[in-house]
Chain A
């Protein structure tokens, strides 16, 4: 399980970088274009520039990251914390949970981009564990 010390650097890094969520979601939609299937109502996603500049993508990316950051405050009970969101993603949004894993991985890459050398293997390991935990929690209520 994830310990309190593992949440310390993570919440710090989230606070340091604005727009990490928007960048992560944007990169997800470009690197894995099939993920756009959930965002057809977002408007112009026709090019990398269009995706990264899209206001709805940015807004949604921020929303996702805020939720993520909240989850990070509750590493001892991710399944409980994300229970409602899990049901929402299953029942209303119909999102394949594989997308949570993909987004988590892209988020890690975005953090690496921002923090460079500071993003040590140990830090990467902590973040990967957290994103995997969140992805798993979001999939937990699927039925």
Chain B
């Protein structure tokens, strides 16, 4: 459960990302593929060396989904249900990969927000993204 302060921190950080979903998403994916190359096995449709256009396109889609999760953070089960189905039936991303995405997400936030990235924001986003990951893998079995 998210406290009122945690919700505020989550929304506050999202306000800084909103409108820039594509570039944040592209950077997230680039970091993921560079730091954790094994994650590329799940993105073969992007080709061997995903170009900027592909990263921007896919990154935007991922971050837009995060934006929806932020908007409905009190009801993640309902709002992420279609994505949970997709991950369970089609994508079947091993659950151990979600912490890797979260680590890269934190690095993106920290490197962009720098002095403004308080420990409270880091804690709230870690809790929030972990909650999203739990919902996305909930229907796996």
Place the interface of chain B in its size category.
20 to 34
B68 at the interface (CB under 8 A from A): no
The reply to whether B35 and A128 contact each other, CB–CB distance below 8 Å, is: yes
The reply to whether A125 and B117 contact each other, CB–CB distance below 8 Å, is: no
Kindly provide the distance from the CB of A6 to the nearest chain B CB, expressed in whole angstroms.
Answer: 13
Interface 0/1 of B100-136, CB less than 8 Å to A: 0001101100111111011110110010000000000
Provide the bound-state CA to CA distance between A125 and B37, in Å.
10
Provide the bound-state CA to CA distance between A20 and B111, in Å.
15
The reply to whether A124 and B31 contact each other, CB–CB distance below 8 Å, is: yes
A27 at the interface (CB under 8 A from B): yes
Provide the bound-state CA to CA distance between A121 and B115, in Å.
20
Provide the bound-state CA to CA distance between A119 and B111, in Å.
7
Provide the bound-state CA to CA distance between A75 and B130, in Å.
32
The reply to whether A124 and B107 contact each other, CB–CB distance below 8 Å, is: yes
The reply to whether B103 and A108 contact each other, CB–CB distance below 8 Å, is: yes
Quick one: which of A31, A115, A124 contacts B122, CB cutoff 8 A?
A31
Provide the bound-state CA to CA distance between A112 and B31, in Å.
12
The reply to whether A109 and B122 contact each other, CB–CB distance below 8 Å, is: yes
Interface 0/1 of B36-52, CB less than 8 Å to A: 10000000000000000
The reply to whether A117 and B119 contact each other, CB–CB distance below 8 Å, is: no
Provide the bound-state CA to CA distance between A110 and B122, in Å.
10
B34 at the interface (CB under 8 A from A): yes
The reply to whether B107 and A30 contact each other, CB–CB distance below 8 Å, is: no
Give the chain B neighbours of A119 by CB distance below 8 A.
Answer: 107, 111
Interface 0/1 of B63-92, CB less than 8 Å to A: 000000000000000000000000000000
A48 at the interface (CB under 8 A from B): yes
Give the chain B neighbours of A110 by CB distance below 8 A.
Answer: 110
B22 at the interface (CB under 8 A from A): no
B10 at the interface (CB under 8 A from A): no
The reply to whether B123 and A30 contact each other, CB–CB distance below 8 Å, is: yes
The reply to whether A113 and B110 contact each other, CB–CB distance below 8 Å, is: yes
The reply to whether B35 and A124 contact each other, CB–CB distance below 8 Å, is: yes
B56 at the interface (CB under 8 A from A): no
Q: What would be 9 A-B contacts, judged by CB atoms less than 8 Å apart?
A: A26-B119, A31-B119, A51-B119, A108-B107, A114-B114, A116-B112, A116-B114, A117-B111, A124-B31
4 shortest A-B CB distances, which residue pairs?
A121-B34, A112-B110, A113-B110, A112-B111
